[in-house]
Each structure stands twice: as structure tokens, then as C-alpha cells.
Amino acid sequence: MARSDRVSGHQFRPWQVWPGSFENPPLDGNFPVPETGRFVIAPKTPIASIGSCFAREIKRRLVRRNYNYLTEETYHPATLHASAAWERVYSTHCLRQIFEYTFEQWQPDLRWWTAPTSKQIQDPYRRVILYDHLKEAEQGFEQHRQHSAKVLQKAKVLIITLGLTEIWQDSIDGSVICVPAGPYVDQGGDMRRYRFRVSRYAENLDNLERIHDIMAAHNPDCKIIITLSPVNLWATFRQDTDVISASCNSKSTLRAVADEFTERHQNVYYFPAFEMATVYQPLSGRTYFSEGRDNFHINKPTVKFIMQHFFRFFSAAEPDGAR
């Protein structure tokens, strides 16, 4: 049991007290967590992942270890980041739209952008997905829907990585675009119908609940692992605060959302990748930031540390380290 000079008579478990506080053991390289709240993922277990850029790191290491990582649309560059050509998905609003367009009749008021100069067709709801003409776009998206449904229905474990709370929303129908980028934006496309805002706790929780309802209807046996990306905002569209504060707000909001979402559902589990990077690594005297131009990302040693613990948490036997 752990010691506390401040709460006399109460017995804490080691993972309930701050490492190294009072006479408690210091950091030992193993992130302290309770034994409950996890399950075994066998190498043959069908796993899918979706979310922000950190989801790509999870995918890479599951594939390297020869886990049964599900991938559809392998011919599409957008599949680099996830199990299908969803590309990187930063907000819970865009995540929700993916599940809705996969299994329901999701039809926004403005479905496609046409770049003013090049005339390329751009999907506003996936990160810079381009087509040469409208017919190709509609056919390609229908194929994508089928692949998306296949992978989400087959998965026994779905890893969702939450990213940020800043969104660009259609003022007419409320749909949320992925990011204001690509040839449509670069070539001066009309963006007046979209307004930037910061999404808040209740709506982000509602989005995850909607995703859970859809998965319960189409794949009720699937377990969901929620993670929070430790990658910071590169820039903020907010005019009222700085990028560091905006990043902290995004992460704090989504961390609180993930906590309640996990508490509500027996098949939802939280994996503390964010805490491993942003708290445990600095406590160990290590930085988690990458060097160079991408210094808002996390570095490779931190990714390795996180994935070592992922396999320790969810494997029947602890491996000798994530590659």
C-alpha cells in the first residue's frame, strides 16, 4: 500500500498516489494504473482505428507487430492514417459524420466543393480528398462508404483518438468541414457560409454518444478504446487567446469528455496516451516534443513508450518492448 501523511488512516494503492511523493516509490518506467479497465487483445483480434494524426502512430506499430489490423481501401493515400480512407479526423463532429454517412443517409446541404481555377472536386468533410470530376467523386465516395462499413462492422476493437475542439461549421445545416484547406480554399473558394467556433464539452460528449449508438446498432460486440492525442495544436484560429492556451483547452475538454464517456459504457476503455506523454515523460526528465519544424508533435521515444504500455495493458503477456 502507498503512504500518505496528509490523509491519515486511508490506505491508497500505489497507482493512487503521485510517484515519488513522501516515502512512496519513485518512477520506475512503468506507468501506474489499476488492474481493472482493460482486456486482452490477441494478435488475431480484428482491430481498427480512426482519429487524429496520433492514430497513424498506433496503426504503424500494430502492423509492425503483425496484429490483425483491419485495412480497407489500401490503394488510397488517405488510408495511411487509419483503417479506411477517412484521412486524419480531428474533431468529434467529423468523427460523428463518418459514422452517420457510413451507416445512415447523411447528406449535407453542400456536398462537394469545386475549386475555382483547377475545377477539381474536393470533399469538404475529409481532409483534402480530391477528384477530377463530380461523377468520379460520387462513385468514389459510395465505394468509400462500403469500405468504411465493412471495416467498422468487422472490428472487435475500435481505437478512437480524439484531437481538438476547434471546428468550422456550415451556418446553414450545421455540418462540420474537416479543415479549411486544399485547392478550393487556396484558389479563393467562397467560405462565407462556414463559421469558426470552439466546440464545448456537452456537444463533444453527445457526438461520442451518437457514435456509440451507431456502433451498438451495427457492431454491438465491438470494444472501444478512447485515447487523447498528445500532439498539440500547430496553430489556433482563435483571436482571443494564444495557441498554447487554445491547445490546453482542447485537450482538457476532450479529456473530461473521454472520462465521462468511459464511465457510461461497459465496452468503452480509456488508454492514457496523453498522460504518458505530457506528464510521465517530463517527470522522468525527458521531453516528449519532437525537434525541428514539427516540434508540436511527440518524438519517437515517447511513441515507443506509449505503445510499450499499450501492449502491456492489452496483451496476455507483456512483450519486450514496442518496436
Query: 171-187, pLDDT tens digit by residue?
Result: 999 999 999 999 999 99
Q: Using one digit for the tens of pLDDT, what is the confidence trace for 50-84?
A: 998 888 888 999 999 999 999 999 999 999 999 99
Sheet holding 176-177, edge to edge: 176-177, 166-170, 194-198
Note the pLDDT of residue 318.
47
Residue type at 280? Y
pLDDT band at 4 (very low <50, low <70, confident <90, very high): low
Let me know: does 58 contact 49? Beta carbons within 8 Å: yes
Let me know: does 122 contact 132? Beta carbons within 8 Å: no
Helix, strand, or coil here: 255? Answer: helix
Q: Using one digit for the tens of pLDDT, what is the confidence trace for 109-130?
A: 999 999 999 999 999 999 999 9
| Residue 111, all three cell numbers | 456536398
* pLDDT of 142 over the 50 cut: yes
Let me know: does 124 contact 113? Beta carbons within 8 Å: yes
The pTM is what? 0.93
